Structure 1
């Protein structure tokens, strides 16, 4: 999700006047050296920018500098291994996503670690997905898309859909859409959400399931048919939900902090409390909503339960669709 407009707006929010620096809880954990936050993607994407917004205000509250360290590669494996190679003391965290720490463990049979090596710390946001089609496709709503997909498949020329990679939340959204509707769409993976939406805008692929933060700026060259949320999204109230359009699908993915599973609970509780303060700030909330993210604010127990539900929900989809990473 390397979107220039998202990057500018979020960085602008991060540059707002800093909040007051409340004292730490008297019995809370205090960092003894700089805290490193590992990002499994290159600089400039949505996960990276949200991490930097968090880092600025987390460091203020924890009384230590917080260093953002981009470790892209191998669908999150590089950053994950880097985390597990550090002491489990709270001084190294990872900003994971549904792609890197829910779908990847389900679809990769030879991961060099166990997902149980990680523990939930605190969420930051969820990503709002959309269904978008190329301008040249003769449909204007989801039901029209379904009718065309069925007739095209019967004629032996199934419609194509772009995702931002094998095993991505984008592919999972597309495969879930296929399962729920019974339509046949041919998957075409790309290396990123930007290339996927550009392929649709260039009339090279028929449909895509990508975040609103990616499809929204391209609305002049694609048709956005629906948002994949339970309710209409407040910054795009004209877009119907998939449920309104007759497809009972909610598709999103999470962004949040994880730590080594052996990290002491008191350390994790302190970091969770600090993150929750930051993510409740008006500046952070405004930046998320403006750029088509949904706030997610949970204590550690609720965050762990959320991740467990995500794994259960997506596991069936990954197995049925045969989504697998090679290598």
Structure 2
């Protein structure tokens, strides 16, 4: 076979494959879609997914199956999405934790935040400093005093996270830096495990989003909320003081969003189809009620351009926090 003919056949084959893929993109979805959750069952991320998958399935006309895959600050699940075809059949439910911070903290992670495209944010999560029930602090200033005393006594205060490089790890490290006292990081695979040990008095604090399950533990006296991380009172913790009201942690104010992502090179018709489905999901009254009850603030509607722009802004913001604490990949 001549070289020219071989090239012609290769070009024809590539063209046919492109046309077939384009046709598949236009008809998407034709089979179940996997919603990849980067933490074990039982945590806040998993609970959000189980509020979303049913109305999303109805909107897209195909089942949406949840897959939980925890570990390595959510990066194992993120890497699995990147290794899958760019066909929209694996959608990542994530946050800056897994996509922005994990690559900064874990040297073995080779992906970049820009490898993903945010299709739509689903919710914003107010955050709080939760503590074991016996920790002697009722607000941020008392917590600062306790941390200073614990460090002086040679038993630094411990803080939980969902993994090295996670937002919760960074917040604990930043708190330690802001207070000028050493604190000990205790990483877990997911929030459910961290909460379990907080209730069991195995760790001192957990700076985290929260929901009804956590507020129920607080009501039962199994743990406490020391401070919220927004200036205004929070709906599920109306009587808990804000860090903004303290002297020691006055500027310690944060929140984190949950969004839906695909690989950056996913064809535009598929991205538009998922975006359209998520837009319908946000009008679902049961979803709104479920997220509201969990303490989540439901996201306003976003265009694809708005979703991508907000993600790029998060990349800049979270990378700046990592730089401020000197986070080094290990």
TM-score by length of 1: 0.80
Residues in 1 aligned to 2:51 and 2:130: alpha-carbon distance in whole angstroms: 29
Distance 1:53 1:239, change over 3 A: same
Residues in 2 aligned to 1:270 and 1:145: alpha-carbon distance in whole angstroms: 47
Q: Which residue of 1 aligns with 2:262?
A: 259
Deviates more, 1:228-237 or 1:149-158: 149-158
Q: 1:142 aligns with which of 140, 143, 168?
A: 140
Provide Cα deviations, 1:294-324, integer angstroms capped at 9, x if missing partner.
2223222222222222222222332343445
For residues 225-236 of structure 1, the aligned pairs below 5 Å read 225-236=226-237
Q: Which residue of 2 aligns with 1:119?
A: 117
Unaligned runs of 5+ in 1: 1-27
Aligned length: 299
Provide Cα deviations, 1:94-119, integer angstroms capped at 9, x if missing partner.
21233211211222233243332211
C-alpha contact 1:30 1:63 (8 A) present in aligned 2: no
Instruction: Give the secondary-structure state (helix, strand or coil) at the position aligned to 2:245.
Output: coil
C-alpha contact 1:43 1:70 (8 A) present in aligned 2: yes
Give the C-alpha shift of residue 173 in structure 1.
Answer: 1.9
Give the C-alpha shift of residue 268 in structure 1.
Answer: 1.6
Q: Structure 1 residue 304 and structure 2 residue 303: aligned? A: no
Residues in 2 aligned to 1:155 and 1:41: alpha-carbon distance in whole angstroms: 35
Q: Structure 1 residue 31 and structure 2 residue 28: aligned? A: yes
Q: Which residue of 1 aligns with 2:90?
A: 92
For residues 43-54 of structure 1, the aligned pairs below 5 Å read 43-54=41-52
For residues 75-224 of structure 1, the aligned pairs below 5 Å read 75-213=73-211, 215-219=214-218, 220-224=221-225
Provide Cα deviations, 1:194-233, integer angstroms capped at 9, x if missing partner.
3433434444433321332264232112221111224221
Structure showing greater radius of gyration is: 2
C-alpha contact 2:139 2:241 (8 A) present in aligned 1: no
C-alpha contact 1:33 1:91 (8 A) present in aligned 2: no
C-alpha contact 1:197 1:210 (8 A) present in aligned 2: no
Give the C-alpha shift of residue 42 in structure 1.
Answer: 3.2
Distance 1:95 1:192, change over 3 A: closer
Q: 2:252 aligns with which of 249, 252, 258?
A: 249
Q: Which residue of 1 aligns with 2:20?
A: none
Higher helix share: 2
Instruction: Give the secondary-structure state (helix, strand or coil) at the position aligned to 1:312.
Output: helix
Unaligned runs of 5+ in 2: 1-24
Deviates more, 1:127-136 or 1:99-108: 127-136
C-alpha RMSD of matched pairs (Å): 2.7
Residues in 2 aligned to 1:148 and 1:204: alpha-carbon distance in whole angstroms: 17
